[in-house]
Amino acid sequence: MIRYAYYPGCALQTVARDYDTSLRAVSRLLGFELVVLEGWNCCGAMSLPTANYLLSLALPARNLALVEEIGLPLVVACGTCLNTLRRSRHACNQRPEWRSRVQAALHRAGRTYRGEVEIGHALEVLAGPLALAKLRRQVRHPLKGLRVAVYYGCQLSGPGVQGLTPSSYLEELMTGSGAELVNISQKARCCGNNLVSTRPDEALPLVQEILNEAMTKGAQYLAVACPMCRHNLLAAQKCTAGCTPIPLRIAYFSELLAEALGVT
């Protein structure tokens, strides 16, 4: 079994426990052990850089230092955490002035970060060639007849050092589990992030457009891979449901995989 250090982040330990539970179960069945990183801290999310840029680099760097101490590659499941951790690694590796300041902050906490951690999203691991082949062999309840649209959001579809390299991870996992793909053009569109809470009148109509496209094209499920995205899509769905019924379920991709693999 291949072992990974696993950074759950705040969401998967609170509001997205169903994501955490299903992801761990699916990973085990496909030959991966996710070892929860002991002593992890909040990554600081996306708003911290505007308040304290050094802290926004040092918080995720502390987690990366913990990973280096156990010598395993790192897997995360949240798009925001992925971007934050990779942004910190990039700053420490490419910007000497910030690397020295981050190291000084870490030294005060008794840690050192060398910049050697491999950081991957769960999608990159589970949609690898060997894992996909194992998924197809182990499917017990194929999702035949289930029409699924996939949604990455902007955090997972960004180019460069952040996000994922342009790919079809979700599509491959869904077809591997037997589902019928429904292609939508807005799969990489922003879900509104915190604006859904702070400026809902402006943000929710934009999110509803994503739901409307999926429904118009006949999707029964919208498979997501980010707690923030799911939260905002559900908020938009609830807002719209007061006027028009929405026969669309929004689920983490790992929940659909768990169903196909026979996880109770």
Comparing 2-123 with 140-260, is the CATH topology the same? no
Task: Give the confidence band of 192 by pLDDT, cuts at 50, 70, 90.
Answer: confident
Q: What is the pLDDT of residues 98-140, one digit of tens each?
A: 999 999 999 998 999 998 899 999 999 999 999 999 999 999 9
Mean pLDDT on 147-153: 96
CA dihedral 256, 261, 263, 264 (to 10 degrees): 80
Tell me the domain boundaries of the chain: 2-123, 140-260
Q: Calculate helix-pair angle for 169-176, 253-260, nearest 10 degrees.
A: 20
pLDDT at 244 over 80: no
Average pLDDT, the chain: 91
* CATH (residue range 140-260): 3.40.50
Bridge partners of 181, per DSSP, are 148
d(CA 123, CA 76): 9
pTM of the model: 0.91
Q: What is the pLDDT of residue 37?
A: 96
- SS3 for 91-156, per residue? HHHHCHHHHHHHHHHHHHCCCCCCCCCCEEEHHHHHCCHHHHHHHHHHCCCCCCCCEEEEECCCCC
Condensed to tens digits (0 to 9), the pLDDT of residues 38-96 reads: 999 999 887 777 789 999 999 999 999 999 999 999 999 998 899 999 999 999 999 99
Q: What are phi and psi of 161, to 5 degrees?
A: -75, -20
51, two tokens: 């308040």
Give domain 2-123's CATH number out of 1.20.120.400, 3.40.250.10, 1.10.20.140, 1.20.1050.140: 1.20.1050.140
Total length of the chain = 264
